[in-house]
Amino acid sequence: MKFRFAGFCLALAIFPTQASERWTFDSRISITDPPVDAVYHHLEGSGRKHIAVSGESVAVVWEDNRSRDPQIYAAIKSLTRKTFPTALLVSSGSEAYEPAIDAINANRFVLAFEQDASVFARIMTAKGLAEPVRLSRAAAGHVSIASFDDRVFASWRERDNAGWFIKIAALRVTNANRIVVESLQSVEADGLETPVLFPAVAVNSAGICIAWEDRRAGHTRLLVSHARAAGNSFTEPQFLNEFFSNRNQYDRGSGVTRVSLASFAQDEILAAWMDKRRGGKGYGIFAALGADAGESFGPNEKVHGEEGDTQPHYNPATAGNQSGDFVIAWDDFRRGDSDIWISAHNPDLEWSLDYAPPVASGNGEQSHPSIALDEQGNLHLVWIERAQPDGPSRLWYSLGRALQQP
């Protein structure tokens, strides 16, 4: 199985024994102002892609209700700058939700978001925002975005009179930062009567991978499909999460939700999600590694360690790079308050001991991480902080600098 050999060799060559030995995190930098009563920030986009790095710039996108109605905001800074500038208002409709971001060349970023039941995309640079382009044709949302060698792909769910569809668009970005839709297709030709939710997309040299929540079996399962190139037909969807039941013959399996995808190395895919297969202990974080841009996936793997086995875990996010690094972040309450945790493969071919970066743990509620890996192996982390679980929030950023290997 190609992905097992390649991924494990990369883990042996790159990852030290534990995630705590991999990065040292800089002091956190505030992205938004101090908490304001009744203002809440959300990092809830499909695939949880809210941070990206291009060249010498890092950018973050989110949704908040500072103007009463939910809208999309973004901020960009140079890697050397110690503060984020004032956020840019990205959306312009009545309501907007669940943004996503990815990087292209020359310190540019592609943003995608839902606005008034349609999906839009636009380019952001340090100079500002280009004009938005509507991608969807009917009621749509849950957009995800991914790029590779400046080829950009957006996926979302859309509903018309024929039912529910997962859509995929190939986008070209001009030198003038205009987005051109080069192709638009459905992953499956026939619409579904049951909803599809939170599709996530990843792309690399071997093609395009899409995973989503699907309810056609009468219970939520994670499905995954692959295409070798834009415009090519997608494969028949396959199950990503393994069926698991510890109850009776009528059980339809453990609940699963919120899959995140990341490409790593030349052609491999990391998938992570929340899974209730542990019975009454709530969601656990599970993962699978895919070869050839997700054409096939290996067995499901439990990510969090034994220390967290009795606790529920939430909000997994993934990141990878072409150097072969890959990592998962999530949040849980094992220490009383919610903290951010990370794990990566170690030389024993297993997920490392869970590590809570000091900048994103401790007093208060730290949750909803989103992560990006640059090609030097540095880990860029953004998360939400609240003083109390139901209190107002703010966003923080920290750079996890890759430690030199002997």
Model confidence band, residue 20 (pLDDT cutoffs 50, 70, 90): confident
- What's the average model confidence in pLDDT over 318-332? 97
- The string of pLDDT tens digits covering residues 202-234 is 999 999 999 999 999 888 999 999 999 988 999
Model confidence band, residue 321 (pLDDT cutoffs 50, 70, 90): very high
pLDDT for residue 2 is more than 50: no
What pLDDT does residue 11 have?
41
Mean pLDDT is lowest, of 35-39, 244-248, 278-282, 378-382, for 244-248
What pLDDT does residue 379 have?
99
For the segment(s) 2-402, the CATH number from 3.40.50.150, 3.40.50.10800, 2.120.10.10, 2.40.50.100 is 2.120.10.10
What pLDDT does residue 10 have?
43
The residue length of the chain stands at 406
Residues 377, 327 contacting (CB under 8 angstroms): no
Q: N- to C-terminal Cα distance for the chain?
A: 30
User: Tokens for 163?
Assistant: 């039912």
What pLDDT does residue 13 have?
41
What pLDDT does residue 133 have?
98
pLDDT for residue 239 is more than 70: yes
SS3 (DSSP) at 359: helix
- What's the average model confidence in pLDDT over 83-100? 98
Q: Distance between CA 270 and CA 252 in Å, rounded?
A: 25
What pLDDT does residue 196 have?
98
Q: What percent of the chain has pLDDT over 70?
A: 93
- The string of pLDDT tens digits covering residues 128-184 is 999 999 999 999 999 999 999 989 999 999 999 999 999 999 999 999 999 999 999
Residues 6+ apart with CB under 8 A from 219: 252, 253, 255
pLDDT for residue 404 is more than 90: no
Q: Distance between CA 63 and CA 405 in Å, rounded?
A: 38
- What's the average model confidence in pLDDT over 27-34? 98
User: Tokens for 109?
Assistant: 């970023």
Residues 7, 290 contacting (CB under 8 angstroms): no
What pLDDT does residue 247 have?
56
Question: Which run of H or of E encompasses 8?
Answer: helix 2-14
Q: Distance between CA 204 and CA 207 in Å, rounded?
A: 6
What pLDDT does residue 253 have?
66
Model confidence band, residue 277 (pLDDT cutoffs 50, 70, 90): confident
pLDDT for residue 15 is more than 90: no
What pLDDT does residue 50 have?
99
User: Dihedrals φ, ψ of 73, to 5°?
Assistant: -130, 155
What pLDDT does residue 349 have?
77
**What mean pLDDT is reported for the chain?**
93
Q: What percent of the chain has pLDDT over 90?
A: 85
Q: Which residues of 4-40 are buried (b: 16+ CB within 10 A; e: fewer)?
A: eebbeebbeebbeeebbebbeeeebbebbeebeeebb
What pLDDT does residue 319 have?
99
Query: Residues 56, 359, 15, CA angle at the centre, nearest 5°?
Result: 65
pLDDT for residue 8 is more than 70: no
Domain residue ranges of the chain, discontinuous segments joined by +: 2-402
Query: Residues 140, 267, 106, CA angle at the centre, nearest 5°?
Result: 70
Residue 159's DSSP bridge partners are 139, 164
Nearest of 40, 42, 151, 36 to residue 103 by alpha carbon: 151
User: Dihedrals φ, ψ of 334, to 5°?
Assistant: -60, -25
Q: Distance between CA 323 and CA 98 in Å, rounded?
A: 29
The answer to pTM > 0.85 is yes
